[in-house]
Amino acid sequence: MAKHDPRAGETQSSGNGDSSEGGGERIAKVIARAGVCSRRDAEKLIAAGRVTLDGEKVVQPGTRVGVSHVVAVDGKPLAEPERARLWRYHKATGLVTTHRDPEGRPTVFANLPASMPRVVSVGRLDVNSEGLLLLTNDGTLARRLELPAAGWTRKYRVRLFGKVSQADLDRLAEGITIDGVKYEPVIADLERVKGIYSWAAVSLKEGKNREVKRLMEHLGLRVARLIRVQFGPFHLGQLEPGHVEEIPARLWREQLGFAAGTKKRKENAEMA
């Protein structure tokens, strides 16, 4: 077990504190990073009295933990957190992007290979949507990838039902407000039309809940099929439905600027 680093600041060891001051991480986050469950479920474990910190029962999910402390769930100490990893997954229709569905529908996570660690999705796809879904074992990485500030474009191929022209789709390029919800500019290009059906390529950066479907409904169209083909620099490519493929750490770290930051820190250290 690693020792506490005094530079991290004071931490709570009683298991009963809920202060945001001091160093360390909230115990619910520590449990989630160890791959036991989500942070929300970790809070439920704490409420059920199943979590201890240095042998004492934890009663507050905000309790902060230092690296020298021993956290256990049901008497079993947490394993060391695994390094951050990222995967491409081709989601098929009919799967929900949750770990448990109250309606009993099949989930993305229940269909993953048993050899994979516990992962979370980067954003979601509706049950009837398909295509590229990024998965990671690191919640912090997932949130960083999802942030609009990252400026990453999501690209979709959309099959539409209803009469539509390029001029109709161009109305989305200025941004639009629907039922009080403001949607940022969306680029939609009509690819081909066959009768009442058509295909369009749609690019957006925000990714609000059901954004593409709501925008198309606003234009009087129905989305018959929605396929995400790209998320930032990552492409669906030829990945088959239901298949998953790990993205090399070097590639996604470069895209997020981790490699550049590491190089800069090394250069500064050499100059010091």
Cβ contacts of residue 235 below 8 Å, gap of 6+?
132, 229
| Listed residue (82, 88, 83) closest to 247, CA to CA | 88
Kindly name the residue from 126, 138, 179, 189 that is annotated as catalytic: 126
Cα Rg, the chain, nearest whole Å: 22
Q: How far is 229 from 90, CA to CA, in rounded Å?
A: 9
Q: Which two tokens stand for residue 50?
A: 């199943």
Q: Where are the beta strands (DSSP E) in the chain?
A: 25-26, 51-53, 56-57, 64-65, 71-73, 76-77, 86-91, 120-121, 130-136, 154-161, 176-178, 181-183, 187-194, 197-204, 222-231, 234-235, 244-247
CA 119 to chain centre: 9
| Listed residue (117, 34, 45) closest to 78, CA to CA | 34
Q: Which residue do the tokens 């009768």 mark? A: 195
Confirm whether 126 is a catalytic residue: yes
Rounded to whole angstroms, what are the CA distances from 22 to 5, 39, 58, 236?
13, 20, 18, 43
- The SS3 of residue 130 is strand
The catalytic residues are 126
